[in-house]
């Protein structure tokens, strides 16, 4: 095995194990990091990358193992110790207080708590020096909630640097960035490494790992499966190491494109007096998948809500199945034959305390099969749920189990099942595979393609390039609330798609 471990590591993790109940998140993981090195921690969703880094930073207590930074052993479970030892972490879900200013966010916890006065002036000066040194611009007095996602990430990085971090950990740093932003980020990371900082970034994207890391550690099922210098490996090998048993994702067959079912012309949507969608045009046909690709926060949530009955069109015309949409409620749309996969399973998709059968029919209580004279007909509802469990292979529960106990993948199968069992005319799938493991992703993909081949019109809203290229017949990018013209996905590559997501729409061949 080719494992070029550094000779005098600034950081070493030895024998880390962590379980959550019956789930093994990390098992006997050992990693070391050299000064000035950029290390990528590569693995699928659920491989245990984030857990490992949270243990390193002291958010979680490991069951066993130790972390050593520059010859000092850290006390486990104490972020303060990690910070003092020079470890900084940029979390995937930023740990910022939106109502406070940039400077306040950065200063918090850096001074003795019971000082009579915060040394704001000194902090401001130090921040300015840091910004200059690493080429990171930031306005110290801006409120964090007014910043873009990219700017917020910069604040997270500055927070770590302000604490004199010498080891920087970034958890999926590019998940929320456009391609140009991501490229800029890696430039900054390179500068930092050149100045002697050591960097670990977590990723599941092979491209950025190959381009930006010196060395890569692959995690699978909570264990280290390989360690390689990027110069001594390639994408194919890494992909094999990351996935292990290769799960075949289903392939898309030819489209049998039918009549138009959704037609949007110049639609605006305003939420809380902010125009979130502007002048959008698209049409959706039976038997096709239309992919809407974009970095999150560009309006796709509202687009999904618009067709789910949670947001309503302002200007423009929006016809669904031959009738104008107007102020339709979710129940109207469901009755019309629209299936809806919510962006966030846990908060929108299901009531955790409810049983599976209750969640299966909650959105269909207007249906005479499941209610009569205001009473819930629980027997047909349980039968409906049983059918979903059997047909969509939901594991880990009976109709009377609390939904909270299902894994993410099984909860998503339940949600797909309740929408697809009746054969909807339209399916709105928002981020359908977010946070799922490879097996569940394949299952979701094949359900989407199966629906398509049955003549269902699918609107796929995703931020995953590979997923969109694999499933969609036509693709439109969403940028700052506007939609690009649609292009055929055949012949499109990730690079071209990346440019579309960054708003470069010139010379697109609309189809």
Partner 1 sequence: MRFERRATRPPLLTIGAPILALLFALIVAGGLIALSGAPVFEAYRRIFIGAFGSQLAITETLTRATPLILTGLAAAVAFRAKVWNIGAEGQFYLGALAVAAFGSVVPGVIAIPALMIVGALAGVILLVIPVLLRLRFGVDEVVTTLLLNFIVVLFVSLAIEGFLRDPLAFGWPQSIPVPPEARLDKLVAKSRLHTGLIVAVVVAVLVWAIHRFTVFGLQSAAAGANPKAAEFAGVPITKTLFKVACLSGGLAGLAGAIEVMGVKGHVSTALSPGFGYTGIVVAMLANLSALGVIFAALFVAAMFVGADGMSRALDVPSFIADVTTSLALLAMLVALFFTQYRIAR
Partner 2 sequence: MTELIEILFTVGLWASVLRIATPLIFGTLGALLCERAGVLNLGIEGIMTFGAMIGWLTVFFTGDLWSGVIAAAVCGALFGLLHAVLTVNLGLSQHVTGLGITLFAASFSYYIFRLAVPVQGSPPTVEAFENYPIPFLSDVPILGPTLFTQTPLTYLAIACVVILAWVMARTPLGLAIRITGENPHAAEAQGLDPIRIRIGCIMVGSALMAVGGSFLTLAAFNSFFPTMVQGRGWVCIALVVFSMWMPLRALLGALLFALFDAYQLRLQTVVGKAVPYQLFLMLPYVLSIVALVLMSRRARVPQALMKPYRRGER
User: With binding defined as CB under 8 A, does residue 340 bind partner 1?
Assistant: yes
Q: How far is CA 402 from CA 209, 274, 350, 351, 362, in A?
A: 40, 38, 10, 9, 14
Partner whose footprint covers residue 109, from partner 2, partner 1, none (CB < 5 to 8 Å by kind): partner 2
22 makes contact with partner 2 (CB under 8 A): no
- Binding of residue 109 to partner 2 (CB under 8 A): yes
Which run of H or of E encompasses 110? none
Helix and strand totals (H; E) in the chain: 16, 23
| Phi, psi for residue 398 in degrees, rounded to 5 | -105, 175
Q: Name the minimum Å distance from CB 433 to partner 1.
A: 19
What CA–CA distance (Å, rounded) separates 476 from 104?
A: 39
- Indicate whether 89 belongs to the interface with partner 2 (CB under 8 A): yes
Smallest distance from the beta carbon of 33 to partner 2, in angstroms?
20
Residue 117 interface partner, choices partner 1, partner 2, none, CB cut-off 5-8 Å depending on type: partner 2
Q: Are strands 323-324 and 198-203 parallel, antiparallel or unpaired?
A: unpaired
> Could you tell me the strand order of the sheet in which 38-42 lies?
87-90, 167-171, 198-203, 38-42, 215-220, 223-229
DSSP state of 4: -
Check binding of 50 to partner 1 (CB under 8 A): no
Q: Is 358 in the site for partner 1 (CB under 8 A)?
A: yes
What is the contact mask toward partner 1 in residues 366 to 395, using x (rule: CB under 8 A)?
x----x--xxx-x-----------------
- Of these, 140, 291, 309, 417, which contacts partner 1 (CB under 8 A)? 309
Per-residue binding letters, 4-43, with partner 1 (x by CB under 8 A): ----------------xx----------------------
- Are 137 and 131 a contacting pair, CB within 8 Å? yes
What does 97 bind: partner 2, partner 1, none (CB cut-off 5 to 8 Å by kind)? partner 2
Which positions from 53 to 72 touch partner 2 by CB under 8 A, shown as an x/- string? -x--x-xx------------
170 closest CA partner among 104, 93, 280, 114: 93
Tokens representing 25 are 């998140």
92 makes contact with partner 2 (CB under 8 A) = no
Least Å from the CB of residue 56 to partner 2: 13
Give the ranges where 70-148 is alpha helix by DSSP (H).
Answer: 79-84, 102-107, 120-134
Cα separation, 228 vs 191, whole angstroms = 22
Among 405, 422, 454, 466, binds partner 1 (CB under 8 A): 405
Examine residue 107 and tell whether it contacts partner 2 (CB under 8 A).
Answer: yes
Quote the least distance from Cβ 476 to partner 2, whole Å: 32
Q: Could you identify the residue written with the tokens 């910069």?
A: 154
The token pair that represents 463 in the structure block: 């931020």
Site membership for partner 2, residue 157 (CB under 8 A): no
- Choose one: 90-98, 320-328, 392-400, 433-441; the region binding partner 2 (CB under 8 A): 90-98
32 - beta bridge partners? 12
Q: Which two tokens stand for residue 322?
A: 């031959």
Q: Give CA–CA dist 315/507, Å, rounded.
A: 28
Residues in contact with partner 2 by CB under 8 A are 54, 57, 59-60, 78-80, 82-84, 89, 91, 93, 95-100, 104-105, 107-118, 159, 163
Residues in contact with partner 1 by CB under 8 A are 20-21, 61, 308-310, 329-331, 334, 340, 342, 347-354, 358, 362-363, 365-366, 371, 374-376, 378, 402, 405
């Amino acid at each position: 095995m080719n494992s070029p471990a550094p000779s005098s590591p600034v950081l070493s993790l030895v024998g880390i194990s962590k379980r959550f109940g019956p789930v093994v998140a990390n098992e006997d993981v050992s990693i070391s990091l050299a000064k000035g090195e950029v290390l990528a921690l590569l693995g699928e969703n659920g491989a245990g990358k984030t857990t490992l880094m949270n243990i390193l930073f002291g958010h979680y207590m490991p069951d066993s193992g130790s972390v050593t930074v520059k010859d000092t052993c850290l006390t486990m479970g104490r972020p303060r110790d990690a910070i003092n030892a020079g470890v900084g972490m940029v979390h995937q879900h930023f740990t910022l207080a939106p109502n406070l200013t940039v400077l306040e966010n950065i200063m918090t916890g850096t001074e003795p708590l019971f000082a009579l006065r915060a040394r704001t002036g000194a902090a401001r000066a130090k921040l300015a020096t840091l910004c200059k040194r690493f080429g990171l611009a930031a306005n110290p007095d801006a409120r964090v909630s007014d910043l873009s996602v990219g700017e917020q990430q910069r604040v997270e990085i500055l927070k770590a640097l302000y604490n004199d971090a010498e080891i920087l950990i970034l958890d999926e740093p590019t998940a929320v960035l456009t391609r140009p932003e991501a490229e800029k980020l890696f430039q900054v990371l390179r500068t930092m490494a050149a100045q002697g900082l050591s960097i670990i970034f977590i990723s599941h994207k092979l491209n950025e790992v190959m381009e930006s890391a010196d060395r890569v550690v692959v995690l699978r099922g909570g264990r280290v499966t390989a360690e390689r210098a990027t110069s001594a490996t390639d994408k194919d090998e890494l992909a094999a190491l990351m996935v292990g048993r290769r799960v075949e994702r289903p392939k898309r067959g030819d489209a049998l494109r039918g009549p138009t079912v959704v037609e949007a012309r110049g639609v605006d949507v305003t939420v809380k007096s902010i125009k979130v969608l502007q002048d959008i045009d698209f049409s959706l046909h039976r038997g096709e998948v239309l992919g809407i690709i974009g970095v999150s926060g560009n309006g796709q949530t509202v687009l999904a809500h618009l067709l789910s009955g949670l947001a309503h069109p302002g200007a423009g015309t929006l016809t669904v199945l031959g009738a104008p949409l107007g102020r339709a409620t979710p129940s109207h749309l469901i009755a019309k034959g629209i299936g809806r996969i919510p962006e966030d399973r846990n908060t929108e998709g299901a009531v955790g305390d409810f049983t599976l059968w209750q969640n299966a029919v909650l959105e269909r209580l207007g249906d005479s099969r499941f209610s009569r004279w205001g009473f819930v007909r629980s027997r047909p509802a349980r039968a409906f749920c049983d059918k979903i469990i059997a047909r969509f292979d939901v594991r880990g529960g009976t109709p009377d189990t609390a939904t909270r106990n299902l894994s993410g993948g099984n909860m998503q199968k339940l949600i797909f099942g309740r929408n697809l069992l009746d054969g909807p005319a339209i399916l709105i799938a928002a981020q359908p595979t977010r946070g799922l493991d490879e097996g569940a992703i394949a299952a979701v993909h094949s359900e989407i393609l199966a629906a398509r081949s049955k003549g269902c019109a699918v609107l796929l809203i995703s931020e995953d390039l590979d997923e969109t290229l694999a499933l969609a017949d036509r693709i439109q990018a969403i940028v700052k609330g506007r939609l690009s013209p649609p292009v055929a996905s055949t012949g499109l590559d990730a690079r071209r798609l990346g440019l579309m997501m960054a708003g470069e729409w010139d010379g697109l061949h609309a189809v």
